[in-house]
């Protein structure tokens, strides 16, 4: 995410956290405005997936945007992309598109800002078994 380069800016009890939340809202709003400007979108869902999933402020999101929050969710950050969260249906046929906003480099990427994959104690590396040639080291 633009302007966030130290872990203290991502921790709720640290001084830079609220500024980081404000930056995330600005980036997210720009993405949402761009999506709506196509004229082809009827609904947008946002998955708050950092820390404990309670970072985004529902009242600060553009009108009509649905917020998926809280943690721990099945499928982690991608929970709900199928249109279901547990037994709750949020979209009849899933979604037509997914945008990743505020992401960072995976664990181990030299020069990657705040690089990590999920939680370092759980996963060190994630890669695709289907296309090993696409794997970056």
Segment 21-72, tens digit of pLDDT:
999 999 999 999 999 999 988 889 898 888 788 889 999 998 889 888 877 7
Res 120: pLDDT: 52
For residue 51, the number of C-alpha atoms closer than 13 Å in the C-beta half-sphere is 14
Residue 118: band (very low, low, confident or very high) from pLDDT cuts 50, 70, 90: low
Q: Which pLDDT score, from 0 to 100, does residue 43 have?
A: 86
78-115: per-residue pLDDT in tens?
777 777 777 777 777 777 888 888 877 777 888 888 87
pLDDT at 122: 55
Residue keyed to tokens 């869902």: 45
DSSP state, residue 135: -
The pTM for the full model equals 0.73
Buried b (16+ CB within 10 A) or exposed e, 59-91: eebeeebeebeeeebeeebebbbeeebeeeebe
Distance CA 54, CA 37 (A): 28
């Amino acid at each position: 995410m633009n302007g966030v380069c130290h872990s203290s800016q991502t921790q709720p009890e640290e001084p830079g956290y609220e500024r980081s939340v404000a930056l995330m809202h600005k980036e997210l709003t720009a993405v949402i405005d761009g999506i709506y400007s196509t004229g082809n979108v009827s609904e947008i869902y946002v998955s708050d997936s950092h820390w404990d999933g309670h970072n985004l402020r529902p009242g600060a999101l553009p009108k009509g945007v649905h917020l998926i929050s809280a943690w721990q969710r099945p499928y982690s950050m991608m929970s709900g992309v199928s249109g279901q969260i547990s037994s709750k249906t949020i979209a009849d046929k899933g979604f037509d598109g997914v945008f990743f906003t505020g992401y960072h480099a995976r664990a181990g990427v030299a020069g990657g800002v705040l690089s990590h994959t999920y939680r370092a104690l759980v996963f060190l590396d994630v890669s695709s078994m289907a296309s090993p040639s696409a794997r970056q080291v």
